Amino acid sequence: MLYLLALLLHRLPLAMGQYDICKSWVTTDDGPSWEFYACQPKAMRMKDYVTVRVDPAGITCGDPPERFCTHENPYLCSDECDASNPDLAHPPKLMFDSEDEGLATYWQSVTWRRYPEPLLANITLSWNKSIELTDDIVITFEYGRPTIMMLEKSLDNGRTWHPYQYYADDCMEAFSMPARRVRDLSTTSANRVLCTEEYSRWVGSKKEKTVRFEVRDRFAIFAGPDLKNMDNLYTRLESAKGLKDFFTVTDLRMRLTHLYRFQTQYLTLPLPSSSRCKCNLHANLCTFKEGSLQCECEHNTTGQDCGKCKKNFRSRSWRAGSYLPLPNGSPNACK
């Protein structure tokens, strides 16, 4: 029996409402002037701007060409991966293309020949820009989820990495951590890095193929199960130390360390977006310029993330905008 690996990533859209107007022209007793508000971009199709890297080198199938078995027919190894043939190749870029006429396209690793020696694979997604997660990350494994994997994040374009969540069929054995569920976290632990066993156990069903990083459940700790109390979430994002940064990334990395025995897996991004550019509440537009995303900064700020004051507007230190006071927030414009 031969074994293989293929992957897909799903991220679902969530609009977080309001804060979409940066300024308005108003007339007061002192005459007309701009009135500034905290503002942020709407969610974008972030899959259009991501770059993907898989390692170690040579882990993508097809060079040299090879035949592999599938879960549906494990005894008839007639499928082929050939990097030189577009119809038979499975390069990393197929994680993010559109699925035409229901035909599944995917990245696939080399065949796993040395079971039970683990097949190790890293998948790194990079945006070269700070983005804010606004909904769950859902990774789909078509046949059998990995028994052990890690999701990591970077805030500095991949220079340093930090654990985001651990996944295992036995958290204590794999990571020396007790298993926890996101929905059991409290307002003081909403940004805790935990290990979950919910997405690692093989149950023998093709429907059990997703691994989730639960952003919505963490939001729900403050905004309620239907996310109707967004004002409370915005308030906590300002007051709870580290909470904003917890949902901010420049890169994501999946480290797959132990795979289930019989599995064919897929990883892709759907067309809807689930993230937005982070502009420090100083912009409501984000555009693609010179090969990277760039905030269209307001409030006399500048930089890729509106992270500094413009020249001649530095009478005080730069500050990020604030969601508070509700409903329009504080722009903290540079003077």
Q: Tens digit of pLDDT for each residue in 321-335?
A: 999 999 899 999 999
Would you say 258 and 142 are in contact if contact means Cβ atoms under 8 Å apart? Answer: no
The Cα 21–Cα 29 span in angstroms is 23
Superfamily of domain 17-41+280-334: Laminin (2.10.25.10)
Q: Identify which has the larger pLDDT, 248 or 138.
A: 248
The predicted pLDDT at position 81 comes to 87
Confidence of residue 29 (pLDDT cuts 50, 70, 90): confident
The predicted pLDDT at position 57 comes to 87
Residue 27: both structure tokens together? 């007339």
DSSP state for residue 211 in the 8-state scheme = E
Residue 159: both structure tokens together? 């220079």
List, for residues 243-262, the tens digit of each pLDDT value: 999 999 999 999 987 755 44
The predicted pLDDT at position 270 comes to 36
Helix segments in the chain, DSSP class H:
171-175, 215-223, 230-239, 243-246
Gyration radius of the chain's alpha carbons: 22
The Cα 128–Cα 50 span in angstroms is 8
Q: Is the pLDDT of residue 74 over 70?
A: no
Domain assignments of the chain as residue spans, ordered by start: 17-41+280-334, 46-277
Q: Is the pLDDT of residue 132 over 70?
A: yes
The predicted pLDDT at position 261 comes to 45
What is the number of alpha carbons within 13 Å of residue 228 lying toward its C-beta?
2
Q: Is the pLDDT of residue 145 over 90?
A: no
Question: Interior CA angle at 191 toward 185 and 197, to 5°?
Answer: 55
The predicted pLDDT at position 187 comes to 94
Q: Please state whether 227 falls in left (phi above 0), alpha (psi between -120 and 50) or beta.
A: left
**CATH level 3 topology of 46-277:** Jelly Rolls (2.60.120)
Whether the domain at 17-41+280-334 and the domain at 46-277 fall into the same CATH topology: no
Confidence of residue 113 (pLDDT cuts 50, 70, 90): low
